[in-house]
Amino acid sequence: MAESAFDSAPSGPAALAPAARAWQRVSRRAVPLLAVITAFIIGVPFMIVTGGRGDIAAGLRVSGAAYSALIEGALGLAINALLTPGDVALVKIAASAEPLQQRELSAFARAVNELAAQDAETVRAVGATLGRFEALDDDAVTALGAAVPGIQRIGDDTLRAMGPLIDDLAALPRRQVRELAAPFASMTALSADDRAALEAAAPSAAGFGDDELLRYMQIVADEGIAQLEGLREQQLALDELGLTSTDPDAANLARAASVGPAAARRQAATQARLDDAAIVDLAALSAQLTLVRRMYDAGALTDPDVAAALEAELPQAVEDNLMVRRPGNLLLFNPGASGLAGIAYNEAGRPTNVWLRLGGSALLFFPANLESTLVRAIPFVIAGLAVALGFKAGLFNIGAEGQLYIGGTLAVWVGYTVFFTELGAAHLPVVLIAGVIGGALWGAIPGVLKAYTGAHEVINTIMLNFIAIRLVDWLIKSGLMQDKSATLPRTPYIAESARLPVFSQLDTIYFVLAGVVVAAFLLLRRRDALLRGEWRAALPALLYGALTAVGGLFLAWISVRDALHLGLVLMIGAVWFTGWFLFRTTFGFELRTVGANPDAARYSGMSVKRNIVLAMVLSGALAGLAGTIQVTGVQFNMQPEFFAGLGFDAIAVSLLARNSPRSMIPAGFLWGGLLSGAPLMQVNANISIDLVRIIQALIIMFIAADAIIRTLWRVPEATEEEKAAAAFTHGWRS
């Protein structure tokens, strides 16, 4: 093995040698984990550019908020600050400076938000102007303010001098004025005939010189007589107020007109109120007003007088209840939760959150988020197994997507067809078997073509994906499998007997029995040691049995949305079966041998063709099982393009797991967690959900090119055995 950068690095102090040797041992197995960590680290610069707009400090805050939200959305874990009276100090100051009632909170918050977008000095100046000219009603302010820019554009003196001409022209029909003024727009000099014609229509034109009259008529041509008449009228109104269009008060009237006089007066009043209270941080005040409103909504505050409620009720409410500040100015309120830790339940008796006080913060666990991640992860794990099994045989099965569709569609058909719905308790097993068979048959097609014609499985499976997707689309939209009562194209819903039970519906006895079965199975495997009197051999079996029972009860407890189904058990069974088949059976050994070296396998008497077909059949069967679980545990029907790339994501999951069945569970859970946490990350950190896709792409890149990770983290070069284990296929050979 070539010497790596790590091996050739200076050894340093002798005390570091044990740590370095330990890192050499541990880091070899941790390459996928290091790839994930590296992808998340590289995601930070993206957030600095997009979320922080290049501001490193702001970008780091956005990154922290994004990854915190991702963890919360995926695992349900969060650490948030406990609410204190000081968190709403600005609201208390504002309510003390001027009375504020509960019913006024929303309007005051809107006024503050509206004011935050304005310049404070400008708002004060506009308010002062409106105060000086309080005799003007809103219509007059709007008309004056709207005219100011036009008067400035023409010029006060010019417009005033044009007054007689405007009056004469305004008395004529509008069409005649347009025809009269149009030629003047392109003139460079005024002729005697033009002047005579103009004086005949507007006698006041005789009082202007040629150049002056030409310029005025060009203004008429550009602006229009109606516009000039209106501007002239508003200029006279300004004259009555002793203003010109260039005066600051005129500019303030224009600003008031742009936002609306009523809004301008409201902003000025709000600004004066904040000035009296010496409040300048409007963003903080807005956030605190939201918190106060949420406290009223939750029942933590009851006194309609906000100042009195914050003074008398809030300190006691903080002491007697759990009040946590959540991202987005949300409030978590657990009434009566005054201890160190506890569980909050909803009206249906389901846990909404678990909390533990940590000084001024609280560690929170939201079971619903973990439940969502588990449900999302199940198909990724099983479909990842499908791809990995093909990889083990040296085959690149890109057809998991199509196999998902065919398996799921066949399962749905068996699920709603009347003939099968009469099977009773046997209906669900038949549906599952049908889905597995559907995926297996669709996987067998490229397997047979590969084995007997040499057609490469990559091309065949890609084409079969599109065939499967369009076939399902046609079956539904053509009416053969369409629910005629549905507004959208979909199949009928499967019968209740064809649906996977959810953990929350199972009695405790089932979990106890599952623990007993696991313990009995493991005790049976250790019966020789037990017969020899080695009673300690029973401890692991009893421990695993107890963990199975407790784990089942925990899964039932977190199933607050009745979404976590027994597909999770089928997933664990699929992982166990795949590992057992590949590493404990003769067929599995032959399949891996064909994948490692088909020539050697053929020389030793193994049937390469049979193993190719077998690998694709089993791979398709697993993919079909994944599709079946989705329709029997989540959707309960089939829709066109329902799986939306799940089969392609399975390839990434398989690569992340390095084709190891046991590693498929954490890899699938990571993928499901990323998708479950992405929406909350988008909301809490205002980060595009596409960032998750970027992170996923980086993970796969680092897994495929692990030399990058080994260099960055100083991981020793992979051994030949590790390289063989990480190999996916052997190219495009037949």
Handedness of CA 596, 598, 600, 602 (dihedral sign): positive
Place of tokens 């699929």: 574
Distance separating alpha carbons of residues 252 and 267, to the nearest angstrom: 13
Confidence of residue 528 (pLDDT cuts 50, 70, 90): confident
Q: What is the DSSP letter of 358?
A: E
pLDDT of the residue at 723: 63
175 three-state secondary structure = helix
Query: DSSP letters along 635-683, please?
Result: ISS--TT-STTHHHHHHHHHHHTTT-HHHHHHHHHHHHHHHHHHHHHHH
Q: What is the DSSP letter of 484?
A: T
Query: DSSP letters along 278-299, please?
Result: T---HHHHHHHHHHHHHHHHHT
Q: Kindly report, residue by residue over 595-612, the tens digit of the pLDDT.
A: 989 999 999 999 999 999
Closest CA to 237 of 366, 342, 151: 151
Q: Kindly report, residue by residue over 360-419, the tens digit of the pLDDT.
A: 999 999 999 999 999 999 999 999 999 999 999 999 999 999 999 999 999 999 999 999
Confidence of residue 5 (pLDDT cuts 50, 70, 90): very low
pLDDT score of 486 more than 90: no
Tokens of 617: 């059949």
Confidence of residue 195 (pLDDT cuts 50, 70, 90): confident
CB 350 within 8 A of CB 637: no
pLDDT of the residue at 14: 52
pLDDT of the residue at 586: 94
pLDDT of the residue at 725: 59
pLDDT score of 715 more than 90: no
Closest CA to 93 of 263, 292, 325, 265: 292
Closest CA to 388 of 677, 716, 626: 626
Q: What is the DSSP letter of 566?
A: T
Cα 148 off chain centre by = 47
Least confident of 1-5, 242-246, 653-657: 1-5
Q: Which residues contact 321 (CB under 8 A, 6 or more apart)?
A: 300, 333, 334, 335, 336, 337, 338
Domain ranges of the chain: 92-277, 503-558
pLDDT score of 24 more than 90: no
Place of tokens 């690569």: 655
In the chain, pLDDT over 90 holds for what percent of residues?
Answer: 66
Distance separating alpha carbons of residues 300 and 334, to the nearest angstrom: 10
pLDDT of the residue at 9: 46
pLDDT score of 12 more than 70: no
Closest CA to 375 of 508, 653, 553, 562: 562
Tokens of 712: 């960055």
In the chain, pLDDT over 70 holds for what percent of residues?
Answer: 95
Tokens of 594: 């064909």
Strand partners, 77: 365
Distance separating alpha carbons of residues 383 and 404, to the nearest angstrom: 8
CB 330 within 8 A of CB 294: yes
582 three-state secondary structure = helix
Place of tokens 């149009």: 182
Q: Kindly report, residue by residue over 46-85, the tens digit of the pLDDT.
A: 888 888 787 888 889 999 999 999 999 999 999 999 999 9
Q: Kindly report, residue by residue over 628-658, the tens digit of the pLDDT.
A: 999 999 999 999 888 878 989 999 999 999 8
CB 362 within 8 A of CB 632: no
pLDDT of the residue at 198: 87
Q: What is the DSSP letter of 313?
A: I
pLDDT score of 186 more than 70: yes
At 326, which helix (H) or strand (E)?
A: strand 322-326
Confidence of residue 3 (pLDDT cuts 50, 70, 90): very low
pLDDT score of 545 more than 90: yes
Closest CA to 112 of 125, 129, 95: 95
Distance separating alpha carbons of residues 664 and 500, to the nearest angstrom: 22
pLDDT score of 501 more than 80: yes
In total, the chain counts a number of residues equal to 734
pLDDT of the residue at 435: 97
224 three-state secondary structure = coil
Q: What is the DSSP letter of 489?
A: S
Q: What is the pTM of this model?
A: 0.83
330 three-state secondary structure = strand
- Going from the C-alpha of 245 to that of each of 219, 241, 378, 398, the distances in angstroms are 18, 11, 71, 72
Rounded mean pLDDT of 674-692?
89
Burial class (CB in 10 A: 0-12, 13-18, 19+), 471: middle
Rounded mean pLDDT of 513-521?
94
Rg (CA), the chain: 38
Place of tokens 């791809």: 387
Distance separating alpha carbons of residues 479 and 490, to the nearest angstrom: 9
If phi over 0 gives left and psi between -120 and 50 gives alpha, with beta otherwise, what is residue 151?
Answer: alpha
Strand partners, 326: 330
- Rounded to 10 deg, the angle between the 690-704 and 646-656 helix axes is 40
pLDDT of the residue at 20: 74
Distance separating alpha carbons of residues 244 and 148, to the nearest angstrom: 9
Q: Output the average pLDDT for the chain.
A: 90
- Going from the C-alpha of 39 to that of each of 32, 473, 602, the distances in angstroms are 11, 37, 42
pLDDT of the residue at 185: 85
CB 390 within 8 A of CB 647: no
335 three-state secondary structure = coil
Distance separating alpha carbons of residues 113 and 681, to the nearest angstrom: 24
Q: What is the DSSP letter of 632?
A: I
Distance separating alpha carbons of residues 650 and 388, to the nearest angstrom: 9
